[in-house]
């Protein structure tokens, strides 16, 4: 089945130690999104790629970076994780971003713990 | 700025009772509204979108621009409807460089349907 895959499902890192989360998709979608969801809060968009075009949200901390080496893969890099970065990180894809009623397809998420 | 409000964190009903999950939004432009659902141990997935004016799993939602609401309704709740429900708004075109197709989520409502 075509889908969005996130690895690992659970990631534990130490305070200040760089960590990379991975997302891959078999849907061949043009757009890939990264959301952060803290406990009992709404998912919040960090950034997205439209093909190779990177779009950062204005309030996304510089500590968060992303790479999209090809259509299928997208990575979230946290350069120096703090305790406040512990959250569920959701990857999503969509065919495009400027179509009415555009659906986003979500991965299962990676739960990040910072010790 | 876009904002989505779901006033109820928790909603409990009995099987067969009507259910309404409330959603209000704030957006100066023309919004696209969605309901996403997350069943236990499953990924976030689209339930329905206002543009389609469809009924999915017995659920309907009508966009009321006057009241800026997009409430989700079902006349007879089933136990399998128990899940987390998120209302989301997408700004198709943003001013000042905001993201096209960006989803802004509400806090979510946990619906529990008792037998």
Q: How far apart are CA B62 and CA B5, in angstroms?
A: 16
* Chain B neighbors of A100, CB-CB under 8 A: 32, 51, 92
- Helices (H) then strands (E): counts for chain B: 0, 11
Along the 115 residues of chain B, how does pLDDT read in single tens digits?
Answer: 789 999 999 999 999 999 999 999 998 877 889 999 999 999 999 999 988 878 889 999 999 989 999 999 999 999 999 999 999 998 765 555 555 667 899 999 999 999 9
Please state the length of chain A.
115
Give the pLDDT confidence of A41-85 residue by residue, as tens digits. Answer: 999 999 999 999 999 998 999 999 999 999 999 999 999 999 999
Give the minimum alpha-carbon distance from B29 to chain A in angstroms, rounded to a whole number.
14
Asked if B83 has any chain A CB less than 8 Å from its own CB, the reply is no
């Amino acid at each position: 089945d075509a889908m969005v895959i996130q690895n690992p499902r659970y990631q534990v890192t130490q305070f200040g130690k760089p960590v990379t989360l991975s997302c891959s998709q078999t849907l061949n979608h043009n757009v890939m999104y990264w959301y952060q969801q803290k406990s009992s809060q709404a998912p919040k968009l960090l950034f997205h790629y439209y093909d190779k075009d990177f779009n950062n949200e204005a309030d996304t901390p510089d500590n968060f970076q992303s790479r999209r080496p090809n259509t299928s893969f997208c990575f979230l890099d946290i350069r120096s994780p703090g305790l406040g970065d512990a959250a569920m990180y959701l990857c999503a894809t969509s065919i495009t971003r400027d179509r009415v009623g555009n659906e986003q397809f979500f991965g299962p998420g990676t739960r990040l713990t910072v010790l | 700025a876009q904002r989505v409000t779901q006033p109820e964190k928790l909603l409990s009903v009995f099987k067969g009772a009507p259910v309404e999950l409330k959603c209000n939004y704030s957006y100066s432009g023309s919004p696209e509204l969605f309901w996403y659902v997350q069943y236990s141990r499953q990924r976030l997935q689209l339930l329905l979108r206002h543009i389609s004016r469809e009924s999915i799993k017995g659920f309907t939602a009508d966009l009321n621009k006057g009241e800026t609401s997009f409430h989700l309704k079902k006349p007879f709740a089933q136990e399998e409807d128990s899940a987390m429900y998120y209302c989301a708004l997408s700004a198709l075109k943003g001013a000042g460089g905001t993201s096209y197709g960006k989803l802004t989520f509400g806090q979510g409502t946990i619906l529990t349907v008792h037998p």
